[in-house]
Structure 1
Amino acid sequence: MMGTLSTFNPAELWPLLPELVMVTGTFALLVLDLFVSPRRNGIVHALGFVLLLAVAALCVAGCGGHGTVLNGMFVRDTLADLMKGGILLASALAFVYAWPFLRERGLYKGEITLLMLFATLGMMLLVSAGSLVMVYLGLEMLALSSYALVVTDRDSPVASEAGMKYFVLGALASGMLLFGMSLIYGATGTLDLAQINASAQGGGAHCDLLLAGTVFVVAGIAFKFGAAPFHMWLPDVYQGAATPITLFIGSAPKIAALGMALRLLDGGLSPVSDRWHVMVAALSALSLIVGNFAALMQTNLRRMLAYSTVSHVGFLLMGVAGGGAEGNAAALFYALIYAVTSAAAFGLITLMARKGFEADEIDDYKGLASRQPLMAALILGVMASLAGVPPFIGFFAKLTVIEGALNGGLLWLAIVGIICAVVGAFYYLRVIKVMYFDQPVEGAHPMLAHDEGGVKWLFMVNAGLLLVLSIFLQPLMAWCRSAFGA
């Protein structure tokens, strides 16, 4: 050990530059929050937003360079930089949406900003994991921060119940994942993902033990995605948490979960890909069916979006099940686009809500087009993109993962995806129908968009991106393909 320490070169840590800036800035804000009065705690939140944008710029620009450090525990490559850029920008969106919502209700505290930053740091570590240890470290940093964020409103019994369910089920899923990792370690004798791959490929692994570990790992990944049948926590958490927290949990972590899946499955367990591809395809089909048909019965907009998230996870896993560079690139593209779309979907609820009026029932939007035609048009665009209606970017995202499934020889899964996309269009179109063709409920709370803090303008940009990004479809897909050397 002494020999290892004596030859340590600090210059080797350059690939960790974004994470080092992130953790240094977060701890600096932690100290600053101790000295800032509650009336000025917006300073901490604003500086947290700036920190996210600065770290995103470091990732996108490739500052620090690529490489494998910390004895193979941390990997920085094009895939990691692309995912981190998406995670940081989605988190920055959540920061802006959160400020007026939480401040109006008296829920904002500096701890919320810090928890969101630590969760983001956990996601960054997760997508750069080169070892089972780093996977678990990043995952638990994300999970523990998320549990605390869900119970932001301590006086709300719904939030407390959601937080408790999330914690208990999350602990169960973490235990399953850890047990699976221990079996993989027992089968290969190493925690390093590259060495696990080499051991499994060279026949040095205990096959039965490795496959048993793979089953538990896939189950743990499915829970973190919110894939059926491991989606039990998702509707309650999405409805119980404050809307900006739901926005945060529902966008960036999906990119991180994909990163975890690709590192574990495609990176470490590719020699047994014929087995886990079948499991991922089954999870994809089940998520598509359960998510879409359960969403049809919802009257609460947040619960509807929760079940629709399950269906979107099904589409995302379709790309992973297809496999290969094209399938993985399609899944990455879908995860990035879904993060932007999900932010817009929950952002519209944040924008329309008031203290004492959460604007989360579908009937709350009756007749909105007659009162606020611009907002109704923007919401129409968000719902159309979620439904996969051309020319919105959501259509092209669904098309790419269906092509990925076809390229992987999964015709049956592609057919399931197409049928479920048609079914899913119904509940999104119901929101549009309510806005344009129904009369407002007499005595209902007047729905007016927030103008505070530029949130309305942010939502307009966020919703507009769902159409504008279609123009840049080919460059975006080429960028995603480059992460897999395609």
Structure 2
Amino acid sequence: MMENQFNFALAAPEIILVIMAMGILVYDAFSHEATRKTTYVFSLCALIILTVVSLMQWNGGIAGTTFYGMYVADPLAHFLKIASYLAVLVTLIYSRQYVVDRDMSKSGELYPLTLCALLGQMVMISASSMLTIYLGLELMSLALYTMVALRRDSLVATESAMKYFVLGALASGFMLYGISMVYGATGHVDLAGVTQVIRSGQAGEMTLVLGTVFIVAGLAFKLGAVPFHMWIPDVYQGAPTAITLTIGAAPKLAALAITLRLLIEGLNGVALSWQPMLIILAVLSLAIGNLTAIMQTNFKRMLAYSTISHVGFILLGLLSGVAANGTVQSGAYASSLFYIVTYVLTTLASFGLVLLMSRQGFECEEIDDLKGLNQRNPVMAFGMLLLMFSLAGIPPLVGFHAKLVVLQAVISAGHVWLAIYAVICSLIGAFYYLRVVKVVYFDDPAQGVPGPDTSWSFRSGVMSVNGALIILLGILPGGLMALCVQVIDASLKF
């Protein structure tokens, strides 16, 4: 008989979040505040409490599996959950004024839905069963679909929500069909059982490989890899910028977590089957993401295609974990983890600047809206320069080191041609990032564009810390990289 199958202490963060989210929802139902300031503060407090709880668990060495192998608490889970809490916290701070100006908080659903999406991400991060992964995925996705359509008076947002919902449902169907086939081939839904059966050679090979294809397709959609990227540009552009940031930051951490759990822990025995799939996804994402971004005039849409190209780099790290001679390189998985964390940090600041420059009745969405920003606000202009340089991979910013560690992993795995290809695509991508810098510094301000708010605020302080981290982690990346390696080695069972 299995012991300790209902260790609720391991799932303390999820339990606390459920209680607090329900409490905030009930309070909000009786609240008469038009701006929902108290609900906003309660949500921030909930995120701070969750950060403290997860840090205490991590420092206390609390780890293990519970709920009959469906839930795992390990260093990877603690690390990604803390990163998710902080990403959501920063997202709420950046988007507060934007939300108030557009009456998006008037009906009160925004903050409880954000916490429900976070709960789904936490379940995904701690999933050690394919069913738990699917449960967390749907919980997160349903909340995000609703949030995209929160501005009921916006036809563009409603259309984006519909596209996101239909394509998301299709991807979920792929994932569920793949899970059912892996279950049919192995007789298990828990990842440890799947791994054991594959290693014993008793799994149905054809069914297992076909199931893996569908699972990779579902994961590619959630990550936003080509050719499952169609939703990203439309949703990023059509959704209110505050919701775009919610979708573009923390959920990426959860998507990487389930990719690591499914492919590296559960299906590592068939790595030779899914590696070529990831190579195709990475090659297409790097090319189409960068080439299509060059043609964009909408800043949010350009960042959407930029996201697709960055997903290509993340996939390069994942596919390099198993070298040509069959040896496993945990450093490759750590490079993908490092890349996603630093990418989320940069994404938060990029969309945060757009939110800071937006005004009531004015959406700072077009690249032309950034014209002459240096003349209007040199501090914001310098911040935009740092972010674009980091995304382009220019030293000494953190984006350069993120690309470097992935390329080192790719070369160590014997895929030298892939590394050369990635460098060429990055050079192409540098064009549209530098174009933004050119517009900010060398163009005259556009007529009718209101100047950015120059007053100091709490949001400005958070933005300053965000920008400082991008510089600091670029100059001293060793600590975070060592932590990523330590977390991967302590958590993933190859």
TM-score by length of 2: 0.94
2:49 aligned with 1:44: no
State the one-letter code of the partner of 1:181: I
Q: Which moved more, 1:102-111 or 1:35-44?
A: 35-44
For residues 152-181 of structure 1, what are the alpha-carbon distances to aligned partners after superposition, in whole Å with 9 as ceiling and x for unaligned?
A: 111111001100000000000000000000
2:451 aligned with 1:447: yes
Between the aligned partners of 1:450 and 1:223, the Cα distance in structure 2 is 39
Q: 1:80 aligns with which of 77, 80, 88?
A: 77
Cross-structure match for 1:466: 470
Q: What's the secondary structure of 2:362's corresponding residue? A: coil
Q: 2:166 aligns with which of 160, 165, 168?
A: 168
Cross-structure match for 2:412: 407
| Kept after mapping to 1: 8 A contact 2:35/2:100 | no
Between the aligned partners of 1:366 and 1:409, the Cα distance in structure 2 is 44
Cross-structure match for 2:319: 321
Between the aligned partners of 1:290 and 1:427, the Cα distance in structure 2 is 13
Q: How far does residue 452 in structure 1 lie from its aligned partner after superposition? A: 7.7
Between the aligned partners of 1:450 and 1:298, the Cα distance in structure 2 is 28
Cross-structure match for 1:382: 387
Q: What's the secondary structure of 2:476's corresponding residue? A: helix
State the one-letter code of the partner of 1:439: D
Q: How far does residue 404 in structure 1 lie from its aligned partner after superposition? A: 1.4
Q: Which runs of 5+ in 2 are unaligned?
A: 322-328
Between the aligned partners of 2:366 and 2:35, the Cα distance in structure 1 is 33
Q: What's the secondary structure of 1:85's corresponding residue? A: helix
Cross-structure match for 2:324: none
Q: 1:359 aligns with which of 364, 367, 370?
A: 364
Q: How far does residue 415 in structure 1 lie from its aligned partner after superposition? A: 1.2
Cross-structure match for 1:251: 249
Between the aligned partners of 1:133 and 1:163, the Cα distance in structure 2 is 25
State the one-letter code of the partner of 2:212: T
2:197 aligned with 1:199: yes
Q: 2:481 aligns with which of 477, 480, 484?
A: 477
State the one-letter code of the partner of 1:371: R
Q: How far does residue 363 in structure 1 lie from its aligned partner after superposition? A: 0.8
Q: How far does residue 251 in structure 1 lie from its aligned partner after superposition? A: 0.8
1:46-445 residue pairs with structure 2 within 5 A? 46-62=41-57, 65-108=62-105, 109-323=107-321, 324-441=329-446, 443-445=447-449
Evaluate the alpha carbon distance shift between residue 186 and residue 451 of structure 1 in structure 2; reply closer, same or farther with a 3 A threshold. Answer: farther
Cross-structure match for 2:9: 14
Between the aligned partners of 2:25 and 2:448, the Cα distance in structure 1 is 42
| Kept after mapping to 1: 8 A contact 2:411/2:419 | yes
Between the aligned partners of 2:56 and 2:421, the Cα distance in structure 1 is 39
Q: How far does residue 483 in structure 1 lie from its aligned partner after superposition? A: 1.3
| Kept after mapping to 2: 8 A contact 1:15/1:67 | yes
Between the aligned partners of 1:173 and 1:465, the Cα distance in structure 2 is 35
| Kept after mapping to 1: 8 A contact 2:54/2:82 | yes
| Kept after mapping to 1: 8 A contact 2:393/2:401 | yes
Between the aligned partners of 1:62 and 1:319, the Cα distance in structure 2 is 29
Q: Which moved more, 1:120-129 or 1:471-480?
A: 471-480
| Kept after mapping to 2: 8 A contact 1:352/1:450 | no
Q: Which moved more, 1:110-119 or 1:37-46?
A: 37-46
Q: What's the secondary structure of 1:13's corresponding residue? A: coil
Evaluate the alpha carbon distance shift between residue 219 and residue 164 of structure 1 in structure 2; reply closer, same or farther with a 3 A threshold. Answer: same
Q: How far does residue 303 in structure 1 lie from its aligned partner after superposition? A: 0.3
| Kept after mapping to 1: 8 A contact 2:65/2:71 | yes
Number of residue pairs aligned between Structure 1 and Structure 2: 480
Between the aligned partners of 1:419 and 1:8, the Cα distance in structure 2 is 52
For residues 310-351 of structure 1, what are the alpha-carbon distances to aligned partners after superposition, in whole Å with 9 as ceiling and x for unaligned?
A: 001001111101113011000000111111100111111100
Q: Specify which structure has the higher proportion of helix.
A: 1
Between the aligned partners of 2:87 and 2:287, the Cα distance in structure 1 is 27
State the one-letter code of the partner of 2:70: M
Computed over aligned residues only, the root mean square deviation of the Cα atoms, in angstroms, reads 1.5
State the one-letter code of the partner of 2:184: G
Q: Which moved more, 1:458-467 or 1:278-287?
A: 458-467
Q: What's the secondary structure of 1:14's corresponding residue? A: coil
TM-score by length of 1: 0.96
For residues 92-148 of structure 1, what are the alpha-carbon distances to aligned partners after superposition, in whole Å with 9 as ceiling and x for unaligned?
A: 111111211010111114211011101011111101111011000000001000100
Between the aligned partners of 1:76 and 1:231, the Cα distance in structure 2 is 31
Between the aligned partners of 1:257 and 1:40, the Cα distance in structure 2 is 32
For residues 189-208 of structure 1, what are the alpha-carbon distances to aligned partners after superposition, in whole Å with 9 as ceiling and x for unaligned?
A: 11111100110110111000
State the one-letter code of the partner of 1:378: G
Evaluate the alpha carbon distance shift between residue 450 and residue 207 of structure 1 in structure 2; reply closer, same or farther with a 3 A threshold. Answer: farther
Between the aligned partners of 1:177 and 1:458, the Cα distance in structure 2 is 37
Evaluate the alpha carbon distance shift between residue 191 and residue 26 of structure 1 in structure 2; reply closer, same or farther with a 3 A threshold. Answer: same
Between the aligned partners of 2:77 and 2:304, the Cα distance in structure 1 is 27
Evaluate the alpha carbon distance shift between residue 450 and residue 138 of structure 1 in structure 2; reply closer, same or farther with a 3 A threshold. Answer: farther
Q: Which runs of 5+ in 1 are unaligned?
A: none
Q: What's the secondary structure of 1:75's corresponding residue? A: strand
Q: What's the secondary structure of 1:485's corresponding residue? A: helix
Between the aligned partners of 1:273 and 1:295, the Cα distance in structure 2 is 32
Q: How far does residue 453 in structure 1 lie from its aligned partner after superposition? A: 5.3
For residues 416-437 of structure 1, what are the alpha-carbon distances to aligned partners after superposition, in whole Å with 9 as ceiling and x for unaligned?
A: 1111111111101101101111
| Kept after mapping to 1: 8 A contact 2:104/2:110 | no
For residues 28-68 of structure 1, what are the alpha-carbon distances to aligned partners after superposition, in whole Å with 9 as ceiling and x for unaligned?
A: 11111122213362111111111112212222332571110
